[in-house]
Chain A
Amino acid sequence: MADGATIPLKGSAANRKPDLVLVPPDVAKSKQLDWRDISIVRVIKAQKSTNTMKQSYTEVAGKTALLLYAQDGRHSAPCLRILGHNIVLTFFDRGGSLSTAPIDIHKYPEEFLRILVGLSRAPPGRIGFDETVFWGKDGRKHLLVAWKGNSEAEVILNQLIFISDALHGRGTTVWAVSMYVPSPESCQPTLPREIVVKDSWINPLRKFTEGGILAKLNEVGVEGVPRLIHEQQVQGPHPSIPNFNVNQSTHIILTLLSQVNTHNYHIRVLSRLLTEPLGQEIMNFSSLAELLVAFIDYVLSEF
């Protein structure tokens, strides 16, 4: 459901208002709009010109950065620019951005309808949501992680520790999570294991991954570094092949085109890292002096 916004929305560090937003129907009816609930941002200009094309792109890029910063279960976002009677659909992801040509809604009604209906009806995975992050029946956010080979385990997200505010690049998100691993004897879940999950869009062409380096450090017994539990590449549905999962990559969308020009697009894949222990937040120190003493102790003991 589309809705107009006349005041800045909640849920973001900056005071910004989109011209138009698309939100799920239950959200639209229930409460004041929040950046965390928005599916799509739209920007409207009275006419199409070189100036408004550039201006609307800058505007929509800034708003998408806010949107991705507010939504930890999302990696990319399509945005709509309405310029007079033309519309432009722009996809922003961690590798770059891709826009359709301006489409005259009167001349190409089927394309206009496909964009409108596609954005409001398409499964969440097609508009940038990570389907391995979801709300559980207990009202808490859950995350699927690979566990022991091909099996998957659900962990409960307790706290968002960090989320990147950059539009492109690694888009790092870090959570504190509880993992319930069944004991081999009883098959009943054991006490929760408090661990850290880190998602980031990494360059797959690099020789070593963070997980690979941690594994080597753990192997030779280096202290003072996190212990690696698992490293995986996150999979998601292929955009055009039904019931087929592929490793999430910024180049999947490019495979839908006939001519691939990767010059302007960074190749990145989504990596998920599980490590422990889960530390205490710096904010938990009662004073700056206490923090400094702890830091001095750490330096003296390690070096």
Chain B
Amino acid sequence: MDTLVNNNTCDLHWMLSLSESKRLLSALFPDYALFGLVELPPATSLQIARTMNQVLEALQNNGHYGRVLEMELNQDKTWQKAPSGNYKESEMAKYLNKILEVVDSISAEEFKTQQ
């Protein structure tokens, strides 16, 4: 155990199941908190600017996520160009920043069209 960490840290640790993990992530980072709300004309109601599902769809259309050969239905979908094997930390940093840049551009584009 790290000297700076209390000896009882492991005893205070709790690992969630996959379904509880998904529930926690949706509650903690809901779409409205990440992408904001927009007022649609006529100004009658507020609507979430984007949903994560829409962002993922856009990433698939841009070729960041999907099958290597789109026609091969038995092939698993993967993140294209994601570093794998023994990659350098800087490669992962670049890859994550690229994904964030694309998400930013997707949500900005949506905001413009809805205005």
Give chain A's interface residues, CB within 8 Å of chain B: 1-6, 14, 19-20, 44, 46, 57-59, 61-62, 65-66, 82, 85, 89, 95-101, 103, 105-118, 120-123, 126, 165-169, 239-240, 242, 253, 256-259, 261, 264-266
Per the 8 Å Cβ criterion, residues 9-23 of B in contact with A are 9-18, 20-23
Q: Cβ of B89 and Cβ of A257 under 8 Å apart?
A: no
A61 to B82, CA, bound (A): 26
CA of A95 to CA of B14 in the docked complex: distance in angstroms? 11
B85 contacts chain A at the CB level, 8 A cutoff: yes
B86 within 8 A of A: yes
A110 and B53 contact, CB distance less than 8 A: yes
A100, B29: Cβ atoms closer than 8 Å: no
B92 and A20 contact, CB distance less than 8 A: yes
Residues of chain B within 8 A of A97, CB atoms compared: 9, 12-14
**Nearest B residue (CB) for A62:** B2
**Residue of A with least CB distance to B60:** A109
B residues with a Cβ closer than 8 A to A are 1-6, 8-18, 20-30, 32-34, 52-53, 55-56, 59, 65, 76-79, 82, 84-86, 88-90, 92-93, 96-97, 99-100, 103
Which partner residue on chain B sits nearest A22 by CB separation?
A: B96
Nearest A residue to B76 via CB reads: A106
CB pair A266–B27 under 8 Å, yes or no, is: no
Given that A20-B89, A46-B85, A165-B4 are known contacts, is A118 also in contact with B13, CB under 8 Å in the complex? Answer: no
Q: Which residue of A lies closest to B3 (CB)?
A: A62
Q: How far is the CB of A122 from chain B (nearest CB, A)?
A: 6
Question: Looking across the interface, which residue of chain A has its beta carbon closest to that of B65?
Answer: A109
Complex CA distance for A117 and B96, rounded to whole angstroms: 10
A114/B20 in contact, CB under 8 A: no
Question: Across the interface, do A98 and B92 meet the contact criterion of CB distance under 8 Å?
Answer: no
B8, B24, B55, B85 — which one has the most chain A CB atoms within 10 A of its CB? Answer: B24
Q: Taking CB as reference atom, which chain A residue is nearest B37? A: A242
Contacts of B27 in A (CB 8 A): 239-240, 256
Expressed in whole angstroms, the minimum distance between the Cβ of B70 and any Cβ of chain A is: 16
**Bound complex: CA A97 to CA B15 (Å):** 9
A103 surroundings in chain B (CB, below 8 A): 18, 21
Which A residues touch B90, using CB under 8 A?
4
Task: Decide: A109 and B89 in contact? CB cutoff 8 A.
Answer: no
A116 touches B99 (CB 8 A): yes
| CB closest chain-B residue, reference A94 | B12
Interface pair B84/A258, CB less than 8 Å apart: no
Q: A256 contacts B24, CB within 8 Å? A: yes
Question: Which of B15, B85, B86, B93 is close to A3, meaning CB atoms less than 8 Å apart?
Answer: B93
Residue of B nearest to A103 (CB): B21
Select A62's contact among B4, B52, B85, beta carbons within 8 Å: B4
User: Is A114 within 8 A of B97, CB to CB?
Assistant: no
User: What are 12 A-B pairs with beta-carbon distances under 8 A?
Assistant: A58-B2, A61-B5, A65-B4, A98-B13, A106-B77, A107-B76, A114-B26, A117-B103, A118-B29, A123-B33, A169-B6, A264-B11
| Besides the known contacts A4-B88, A98-B13, A117-B34, 11 further A-B residue pairs in the complex with CB atoms under 8 A apart | A2-B96, A6-B89, A20-B92, A20-B93, A44-B92, A59-B2, A62-B5, A82-B92, A168-B6, A240-B27, A258-B20
Instruction: Give the docked Cα–Cα distance between A57 and B5 (Å).
Output: 11
Contacts of A123 in B (CB 8 A): 33
Which 10 A-B pairs give the minimum distances between C-beta atoms?
A: A118-B29, A62-B2, A96-B12, A100-B21, A4-B89, A256-B27, A4-B90, A101-B18, A106-B78, A2-B93
